[in-house]
Structure 1
Amino acid sequence: MPITARDREILRLAVPAFGALVAEPLFLLADYAIVGHGLGTTAVGALGVAGTVLATLMNLCVFLAYGTTASVARQSGAGHHTRAIRSGVDGIWLALAIGLVLIVAGWPLAPAIVEMFGTVGEQTGQAVTYLRISLLGAPGMLVVLAGTGVLRGLRDTMTPLVVAVGSFALNAALNAWFVLGLGWGIAGSAWGTVLAQTAGAAVYLVVVARGALRLGTPLTPSLEGIRQAGTAGIALLVRTASMRVVIVVATVIAARMGEAELAAYALATQVWTLLVFALDAIAIAGQAITGRSLGAGDVAATRDATRRMVRWGLWSGVVLGLLVVVSRPVLPGLFNADPHVAGLLLDLLWPVALFQPVCGIVFVLDGVLIGAGDQRYLAWQSVWTTLAYLPAALLAADFGVVALWCALGVWMLARLITLTRRAAGTAWLVTGV
């Protein structure tokens, strides 16, 4: 397929977005590697539980990024640049408010949340410690989401890349120092991540504030704007909540299979998450391009970009699947996994690799429909595909972690069918602001 101007635009947005997106799971992968080498299997399992809870909270709030990207891109495409920045500022204020609520509500509930996963003994205590400390970084994490959404909507994916790389480097250095150097245990890993994420949030606040002041946009909160940002995110919240049910149910089932099974499943999940974010880079480009072209009223450009992004997603999935197969023998050693955990992880990596091409198409179409503002359909689609997953997961519980991972394949195939049918139609092609 020849490289066109549209392809170059996709790559210009997707390549920096790829770097920024993979830096996010690298936060946890760095934690896993350092904790695995310094603290052992029990701590890795605890990190897996706490990490799942934190990832769930952050994913439930991902509308701060996705909703803001779509809104800013559509306003920008229509030439309303001041209104675009205003919606971004309101999104950041909403992020700060939600972050504070998470700290207040999450701190006392942490033990009960961890116990839901069926952990026992020392593993429970370590998971609670990591979760409570990490919640202190919630405002920073959410500001990063909202700030990233603003810049993506303005088709700036390079600044998020720079911030993400800097935050990852700081996170890795602090974790190694706190855990291995100072001997703070799993608490050190949590503190390192909190400090790195807060530093990243500070950078976004400065960048967005400068842009707002340049356009004469006030930085004070607008209650009406915050309300609109929150209301627009409800459908995306339902979408994400349904998707996180899948991940949480899988983690609970893995925890009840045993400590080694939970550790192996947690490690495989981190590898898969890294691949998800890599593929989601094209979806980010899809959000920005779709929002801008529909805001400008150009349906033909939207169709053309969608077709090309689906092809990029498919072939990227093929390449990533092959990379998993090639790197499979060395991955357990990166986490210092014991022989039992290593054997389970090696088995899990086969289905992880197999479903990457499907993931490539699914994530691209998901991003395109988010950019189009088709959130209501995405909410219902997520509910129905999650209901398709649950029976497969419950059946797999009796056959081990590999079967449990294959149940995720059922979910991805259900998403592939529903998203391709929607994209083939015209209901989502709504133009204007």
Structure 2
Amino acid sequence: MNISSALRQVVHGTRWHSKRKSYKVLFWREITPLAVPIFMENACVLLMGVLSTFLVSWLGKDAMAGVGLADSFNMVIMAFFAAIDLGTTVVVAFSLGKRDRRRARVGTRQSLVIMTLFAVLLATLIHHFGEQIIDFVAGDATTDVKALALTYLELTVLSYPAAAITLIGSGALRGAGNTKIPLLINGSLNILNIIISGILIYGLFSWPGLGFVGAGLGLTISRYIGAVAILWVLAIGFNPALRISLKSYFKPLNFSIIWEVMGIGIPASVESVLFTSGRLLTQMFVAGMGTSVIAGNFIAFSIAALINLPGSALGSASTIITGRRLGVGQIAQAEIQLRHVFWLSTLGLTAIAWLTAPFAGVMASFYHPRIHRLNTSL
């Protein structure tokens, strides 16, 4: 018996081989139609900040470091919003699995109202204490870098309500099984961000532009366009299960549904915020090592986040699939599918990590040449 025959017998004797057809159906019919658009959408959301860094990279390393410091803090806030978005996704998927459209609409509407109000309050507080936040985050960074970071933070906090609306609305649409609309909106936002920020930073024709200020302003304008688009999609009932009129946002709140969303979102937000805070702490530790190190560290983290996107997309897809299964009482099927997604994401991310390392220099080369070598090492 040769080696290939022996390996074939070993594979045929595994439990996976006997269930390969059902796994194949699960992958192509349920996971892929959800995970691929979610992956592309999450990439677009992440690229909003990455592209802002790229656009200011030619203004100098001080500008890149300023954006990096401010965005390290912004990512903690975005992680919290994304976790509440997850709670909304689960409630919508579970409700629609039980054929309860009204509960799905109420959950979406109330999540949007609560998180928008919270985002306004949060933006007000951060804007007021912005200088203290930057001093804490930037540590021993230079005065010029701190000033640029404060300017960028004060501009981008104005986009928090818009970011909350876009994330929560996109999560609700994903929970309803509509992954294409959030992808289309977030993809369009990236294009708008490049165009608007590029014009505001570097100018157009005879207008010289606003310089560094244009980066934060362009990002904020783009996010509000996205928020309007999400509210419009929900208002016209593009997805009939989630048709939410504008006047319905002023109805009294049903706290039983809110606590259900928060019961899922808050524990998830603690996990996400702690993970993102670890990155923020690293940024704080390197703040005194020089402007190039600050910029390089942020860019390296951004690239690492892009590498992790497939796992995040599979996690979101499994959340939607599980919510649907639990909604119709198929608990055993949900467990089987979760196990399959777990191994798929583990093996996939391991392969991506090994394949990405040789191309680190290529990915870092898109930024300013002065920090190219540092980015490659990180």
Deviates more, 1:84-93 or 1:275-284: 275-284
Is the Cα contact below 8 Å between 1:36 and 1:337 reproduced in 2? no
Residue in 1 that maps onto 2:372: 342
List gaps (5 residues or longer) in structure 2: 1-19
Provide Cα deviations, 1:273-322, integer angstroms capped at 9, x if missing partner.
Answer: 22223321111101100111112111221122112212321343144224
Provide Cα deviations, 1:33-57, integer angstroms capped at 9, x if missing partner.
Answer: 11112x1111111111000111111
Residue in 2 that maps onto 1:11: 32
Give the alignment of 1:1-400 within 5 angstroms. Answer: 4-8=24-28, 9-37=30-58, 39-116=59-136, 117-118=138-139, 119-181=141-203, 182-211=208-237, 218-225=248-255, 227-228=258-259, 229-230=261-262, 232-338=264-370, 341-348=371-378
Is the Cα contact below 8 Å between 2:113 and 2:249 reproduced in 1? no
Distance in 1 between the 2:343 and 2:307 partners?
17
Distance in 1 between the 2:231 and 2:90 partners?
20
Same amino acid, percent of matched pairs: 23
The structure whose Rg is larger is 2
Distance in 1 between the 2:88 and 2:267 partners?
13
Residue in 1 that maps onto 2:7: none
Is the Cα contact below 8 Å between 1:329 and 1:346 reproduced in 2? yes
Provide Cα deviations, 1:155-206, integer angstroms capped at 9, x if missing partner.
Answer: 1111111011100100011111111224312210011111111111111111
CA shift, 1:250, in A, is 1.0
CA shift, 1:260, in A, is 2.2
Provide Cα deviations, 1:385-432, integer angstroms capped at 9, x if missing partner.
Answer: xxxxxxxxxxxxxxxxxxxxxxxxxxxxxxxxxxxxxxxxxxxxxxxx
Distance 1:64 1:135, change over 3 A: same
Distance in 2 between the 1:231 and 1:299 partners?
20
CA shift, 1:343, in A, is 2.4
CA shift, 1:323, in A, is 4.4
Distance 1:332 1:238, change over 3 A: closer
Is the Cα contact below 8 Å between 1:89 and 1:208 reproduced in 2? no
Distance in 2 between the 1:67 and 1:196 partners?
25
Is the Cα contact below 8 Å between 1:42 and 1:259 reproduced in 2? yes
Name the structure, 1 or 2, with higher relative contact order (CA <8 Å, separation 6+). Answer: 2
The alignment of Structure 1 onto Structure 2 pairs a total of residues equal to 345
List gaps (5 residues or longer) in structure 1: 349-433
Distance in 2 between the 1:164 and 1:231 partners?
27
Distance 1:66 1:322, change over 3 A: same
Is the Cα contact below 8 Å between 2:111 and 2:258 reproduced in 1? no
* Aligned-residue RMSD, C-alpha: 2.1
Q: What one-letter code is carried by the residue in structure 2 that aligns with 1:291?
A: G
Residue in 1 that maps onto 2:3: none
Q: What one-letter code is carried by the residue in structure 2 that aligns with 1:92?
A: L
With normalisation by structure 1, the TM-score equals: 0.75
Is the Cα contact below 8 Å between 2:159 and 2:224 reproduced in 1? yes
Distance in 2 between the 1:222 and 1:316 partners?
45
Is the Cα contact below 8 Å between 1:63 and 1:237 reproduced in 2? yes
